[in-house]
């Protein structure tokens, strides 16, 4: 039971920590003023690093953006700030959101124009998924006959993992936990420090590839054990972790698109 609990915790940490950043150190609340002319945002930096608030916005009940204001507001550790969004339609607001980045205490990024930064997820970023997979294959590629792996041969690292041809232990611990964890953490880190979500494409590709591959490996493991009339609880445990990982990843993506 302790081993199973450990696996579940590891799976949740993979996706939740991948996109961890300044939001963990910001306490935010908002309300509409009595005259219904502005949305009032209260921010507090609860962490130890200086944080730059780059934008805040209000949304209606359909998650449609009512208004978004860009800004360059710095919060030192423990500092509180009250900010406003003025709009004739503020009375329809049902949700508030914001964007932030970590910053130097002396405001190093203040010399950079907010408008010049290219941030935000674009659908054409998905074109980089095949590139990310090729890079993964180039680094960890192997060929069953001892020669270099070729994508078109049908006997390559990426396809083997995707189809679940690797053992369950190898797929889960090496590819899903270690390799996917490193790629996800690195993508989240570079996205945060560069304020550009394009780096998250590698994490998305890695989670899909490793998750689907481990799921297929679990199925193959389960079928083999059933034929031998042996217990196959590890297959269920791995699949539970994969489902929880994708649910957590989906939640992170929803937060990303709503800011």
Q: How confident is the model at residue 33, as a pLDDT?
A: 94
Taking 60 as the threshold, does the pLDDT of residue 177 lie above it? yes
The structural architecture, per CATH, of the domain 22-116 is Sandwich (2.60)
Q: How does pLDDT run across 193-241, given as a tens digit for each residue?
A: 776 778 888 888 889 999 999 999 999 999 999 998 899 899 899 999 9
Q: Is there a contact between 7 and 174 (Cβ–Cβ < 8 Å)?
A: no
Please state the three-class secondary structure of the chain as a single string: CHHHHHHHHHHHHHHHHHCCCHHHHEEEEEEECCCCCEEEEEEEECCCCEEEEEEEEEECCCCCEEEEEEEEEEECCCCEEEEEEECCCHHHCCEEEEEEEEECCCCHHHHCCHHHCCCCCCHHHHHHHHHHHHHHHHHHCCCCCCCCCCHHHCCCHHHHHHCCCCCHHHHHHHHHHHHHHHHHHHHHHHHHHHCCHHHHHHHHHHHHHHHHHHHHHHHHHHHHHHHCCCCCHHHHHHHHHHHHHHHHHHHHHHHHHCC
Query: What percentage of the chain exceeds 70 in pLDDT?
Result: 70
Q: How does pLDDT run across 4-62, given as a tens digit for each residue?
A: 444 444 554 544 444 447 888 999 999 999 999 999 999 999 988 899 999 999 999 99
Q: What is the pTM assigned to this prediction? A: 0.47
Distance CA(257)–CA(133), nearest Å, equals 24
Q: Tell me the domain boundaries of the chain.
A: 2-21+121-257, 22-116
């Amino acid at each position: 039971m302790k081993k199973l609990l450990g696996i579940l915790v590891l799976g949740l940490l993979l996706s939740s920590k991948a996109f961890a950043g300044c939001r963990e150190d910001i306490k935010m609340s908002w309300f509409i003023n009595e005259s219904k002319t502005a949305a009032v945002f209260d921010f507090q930096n609860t962490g130890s690093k200086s944080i730059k608030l780059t934008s805040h916005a209000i949304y209606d009940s359909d998650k449609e953006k009512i208004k978004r204001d860009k800004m360059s507001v710095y919060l030192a550790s423990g500092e509180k700030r009250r900010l406003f969004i003025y709009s004739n339609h503020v009375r329809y607001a049902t949700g508030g959101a914001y964007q932030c980045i970590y910053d130097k205490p002396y405001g190093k990024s203040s010399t950079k124009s907010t408008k010049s930064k290219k941030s935000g997820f674009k659908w054409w970023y998905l074109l980089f998924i095949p590139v990310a997979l090729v890079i993964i294959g180039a680094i960890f590629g192997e060929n069953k006959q001892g020669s270099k792996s070729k994508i078109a041969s049908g006997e390559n690292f990426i396809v083997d993992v995707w189809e679940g041809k690797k053992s369950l232990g190898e797929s889960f611990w090496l590819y899903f936990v270690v390799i996917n964890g490193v790629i996800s953490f690195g993508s989240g880190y570079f996205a945060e420090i560069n304020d550009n979500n394009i780096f998250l494409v590698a994490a998305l590709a890695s989670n899909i590839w490793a998750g689907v591959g481990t799921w297929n490996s679990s199925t193959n493991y389960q079928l083999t054990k059933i034929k031998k009339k042996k217990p196959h609880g590890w297959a269920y445990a791995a699949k539970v972790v994969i489902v929880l990982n994708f649910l957590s990843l989906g939640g992170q993506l929803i937060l990303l698109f709503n800011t």
